[in-house]
Amino acid sequence: MKIRTEISSKYAEIELHICHNEINDEVRNISSELHMMYDESLTGTDERGNRRLLRPGEITAFYSEGQRVIALGEKERYMISNKLYELEESLTKTHFIRISKSEIVNIRKIRSLDMSLSGTIRILMKNGHEAYVSRRNVSKLKERLKAERMVKQA
């Protein structure tokens, strides 16, 4: 893959081009990643009341806490107005997966999986956040991880 940066006054805004002789999985994945980074965005409010535009790629997890939905970043938490089911629907083509009734995680931010608990999986995220996969979502998570080539098939 070649990556080229061109700086010129003829460009009023950033343009990203994907060029290849055919449409294949690599082209689709790169395109999907770019759309996830730049098209999808949410507005979150931090604990000081400041509003910020959030890109899904920088979010580790979304979870419910009481009546609120929290977007968890690397170190910070943001309250968002979306419901979990709305997030699940809008993020289906990205790297997020629902792991329980109250949480959706970014599979690209998973550090490790602990399967020592009977019937469930404990997930440790790269930022230290810990989450548990409900029993009915275990097989869905395993399939998704295999599809993402994060888990070697036995």
pTM reported for the whole predicted model: 0.70
Question: Does 13 map to a domain?
Answer: no
pLDDT less than 70: residues of the chain:
36-40, 93, 119, 149-154
- Could you read off the pLDDT of 29-69 as tens digits, one per residue? 888 777 766 656 788 999 999 998 888 888 999 999 999 99
Question: Does 135 map to a domain?
Answer: yes
Provide the domain limits for residue 31: 25-147
Question: Does 9 map to a domain?
Answer: no
**Nearest-angstrom CA–CA distance, 137 and 99:** 6
Structure tokens, 49: 């009341």
The pLDDT of residue 28 is: 85
Q: Give the DSSP letter of residue 135.
A: G
Question: Does 73 map to a domain?
Answer: yes
Number of domains observed in the structure of the chain? 1
Question: Does 60 map to a domain?
Answer: yes
Computed over its alpha carbons, how large is the radius of gyration of the chain? 18
What CATH number corresponds to the domain at position 59?
2.40.50.1020
Cβ-proximal residues to 48 (8 Å cutoff; 6+ apart), any chain: none
